């Protein structure tokens, strides 16, 4: 076994867990789940069947990933943030065949106690603030806050807010020095503009 699991964790088989991953106290990984390499699953994390977790994903304490959730590489899930997978749940109505897909793209951050309503995509390197409730797709590099969440600004892949765009729409990340451009409501790293999912 080339990954670590705490003795209190429950790992159902078959499932896939990548090398270098650490699974901590009281986690439950169900059969059919896929967890990538070098991930960290904090205390009391639940991973349902057919959930897909990429490489280098960090999931903090008390997060449940229900069927339909897909996390790409380098995603950060803050403590006690919430995913859903049914849009109209009722206790007496069985809707197990109606799970909606939720996609969190590479490098995105989901802040503590945020909620992601199912059926939406959180764009690459987007930042969902603590306590925000996502009810629509989140653009790449967007900073969203509030209930329901709304775009309040833009953030770099390094995790710094892009504060000032010049007349040509350019802004520099204060942490990394990388250059970004705002075009028609989408932010792009200048050297990889074609990667924007909204403009594809």
The CATH number given to whatever domain includes residue 32 is 2.160.10.10
**Is residue 116 one of the residues assigned to a domain?**
yes
**Which pLDDT belongs to residue 200?**
57
d(CA 30, CA 66): 10
- Residue 137: what pLDDT? 98
CA-CA-CA-CA dihedral for 53, 56, 60, 61, to nearest 10: 60
Q: Quick check: is 171 in a domain?
A: no
Taking the CA of residue 112 as centre, how many other CA atoms within 13 Å lie in the half-sphere pointing to its CB? 3
Can you tell me the mean pLDDT for 30-57? 98
- Is 198 a member of any domain? no
Residue 199: which pLDDT band, with cuts at 50, 70 and 90? Answer: low
Q: Is residue 73 part of a domain?
A: yes
Global confidence as pTM: 0.94
Q: Work out the percent of the chain whose per-residue pLDDT is above 90.
A: 91
Within a domain: 19 = yes
Place 76 in a pLDDT band, splitting at 50, 70 and 90: very high
**Number of domains the chain is built from:** 1
Res 197: pLDDT: 58
pLDDT band at 56 (very low <50, low <70, confident <90, very high): very high
**Region of 50 on the Ramachandran plot (φ > 0 left; ψ -120 to 50 alpha; else beta):** left
Name the pLDDT band for 1 (thresholds 50, 70, 90): confident
> Considering the domain boundaries, does residue 194 fall inside one?
no
Spatial contact of 140 and 186, defined as CB atoms under 8 Å apart: yes
- Asked if residue 167 belongs to a domain, the reply is no
Residue 166 inside a domain? The answer is no
Q: What's the whole-number average pLDDT of the chain?
A: 95
pLDDT at 6: 98
Range of the domain at 45: 4-159
- pLDDT score at 166: 95
């Amino acid at each position: 076994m080339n990954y670590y699991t705490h003795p209190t964790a429950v790992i159902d088989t078959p499932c896939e867990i990548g090398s270098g991953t650490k699974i901590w106290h009281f986690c439950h990984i169900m059969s059919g789940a896929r967890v990538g390499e070098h991930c960290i699953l904090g205390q009391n994390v639940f991973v349902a069947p057919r959930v897909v977790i990429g490489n280098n994903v960090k999931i903090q304490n008390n997060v449940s990933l229900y069927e339909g959730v897909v996390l790409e590489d380098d995603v950060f899930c803050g403590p006690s943030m919430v995913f859903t997978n049914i849009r109209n749940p009722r206790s007496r109505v069985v809707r197990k065949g109606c799970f909606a897909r939720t996609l969190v793209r590479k490098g995105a951050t989901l802040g503590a106690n945020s909620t992601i309503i199912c059926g939406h995509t959180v764009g690459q390197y987007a930042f969902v603030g603590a306590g925000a409730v996502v009810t629509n797709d989140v653009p790449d590099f967007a900073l969203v806050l509030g209930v329901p969440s709304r775009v309040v600004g833009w953030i770099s892949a390094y995790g710094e807010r892009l504060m000032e765009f010049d007349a040509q729409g350019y802004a520099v990340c204060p942490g990394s020095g990388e250059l970004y451009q705002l075009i028609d409501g989408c932010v792009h790293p200048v050297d990889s503009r074609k990667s924007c999912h909204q403009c594809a």
